[in-house]
Structure 1
């Protein structure tokens, strides 16, 4: 691997940490990153740099920092006294990395945190019986048929079919209204 300048090396280190921490690429190890990006750095120095960058990236990801939050965070990190702070070059590399990779990190974290299996699709219809075969009046009321498509990432879909009469549909609608009210209350409090 050709010698990279310190800014490119730091950018590659951040990408490697992101791949391991957020995308679960276990083949990207701390030792591999040291050997490829910082072969001349002592193990202790690299371990400290790796730990600092990993901690900062995790802070940025957990807060899902927007541009203004990122700039304020990085400014505070550069003003830290002692060895715990960032250099201006490190802050610039972190800023460039986050601007280009924020959406990927966010999507990866969301995919890891979602319940499996997830709801992929929903279709429904209402069936109404018009008359019995013998010409008698129809029995029962309308029936709602709902098909749920369920599946996890990289899995085939499974389908679940549900049948509701009018009373069950009303119960479902009441529960959904209760859920919406709860969400509205929580949103108003925040």
Structure 2
């Protein structure tokens, strides 16, 4: 019975570490100690917490599949000294990762995206009929580009840009340079 309680506590600890580290929820180390390991000394808990947090971060950063996870946990159980895992700890980590891997991955991907991101782009070419007040008269085609920016559940913001023919040519030249660089990298690998 004590072993079952120990496994439940370790599973809850892993879940708490995950909530704090990957989902950015306010789960404190002290709360986890008080709720899950009230009889453990602070030093012992700090060591357990640190070990489990480091292992979870390694598993998450590698986005370990089942085979990688089993090899990793086997290596961790074979470590000599106090740095290794017990068989029960490895089993708890394996169960946790099998059930939570996709949620951790989604959370890390959402956090890694640059904010705000480009949601959409539209453009059109037109001819300016009259000059804006105070501006020099302009003749020739004008490109209007509208960028939709936003991310992570935020409302979109729109940015409207106006380019003359020379500026459009400069942008196209830069884009061609970027494409050539990408092509060189792709063909060298």
Please tell me whether the aligned partners of residues 146 and 162 of structure 1 are also in contact (alpha carbons under 8 angstroms).
Answer: yes
- Structure 1: any 5+ residue segments left out of the alignment? none
Would the alpha carbon gap of residues 116 and 37 (structure 1) be closer, same or farther in structure 2, given more than 3 Å must change? same
Q: Secondary structure at the match of 2:154?
A: coil
Q: Between 134-143 and 178-187, report the one with greater CA deviation.
A: 134-143
Distance 1:90 1:3 in 2: 11
Aligned CA distance change for structure 1 residues 134 and 112 (closer, same or farther; 3 Å): closer
What's the CA shift for 1:52?
A: 0.4
Corresponding pairs, count: 189
Partner deviation per Cα, 1:13-51 (whole Å, 9 max, x = no partner): 1110011112x6453111111222222333222221111
Cα distance in 2 for partners of 1:4, 1:136 equals 78
Shift of 1:56: 0.7
Q: Distance in 1 between matches of 2:133 and 2:20?
A: 68
* Alpha-carbon distance in structure 2 between the residues aligned to 1:117 and 1:134: 33
Check 1:41–1:152 CA distance in 2 against 1; reply closer, same or farther (3 A cut): same
Cα shift readout 1:36-93 (whole Å, capped 9, x = no counterpart): 2222333222221111001111112222323332222112111111111111221122
Deviation at 1:167, TM superposition (A): 4.1
Q: Secondary structure of the residue that 2:121 maps to in structure 1? A: strand
Residues 55 and 135 of structure 1, relative CA distance in 2, 3 Å threshold: closer
Secondary structure of 1:4's partner?
helix
Q: Which range moved further: 167-176 or 32-41? A: 167-176
SS of the counterpart of 1:163?
Answer: strand
Alignment RMSD: 4.6
- From the superposition, tell whether residues 184 and 95 of structure 1 become closer, same or farther in structure 2 (CA, over 3 Å): farther
- 1:141 Cα deviation after fit: 5.0
The 1-side partners of 2:67 and 2:97 are apart by 12
3-state SS of 2:3 partner:
coil
SS in 2 for 1:162: strand
Counterpart-to-counterpart distance in 2, 1:119 and 1:172: 18
CA gap 1:50/1:154 in 2 versus in 1, 3 angstroms:
same
Distance change in 2, residues 1:70/1:166 (3 Å): farther
TM-score by length of structure 1 reads 0.76
Worse overlay, 171-180 or 8-17: 171-180
Relative distance call for 1:112 and 1:133 in structure 2 (3 A) is closer
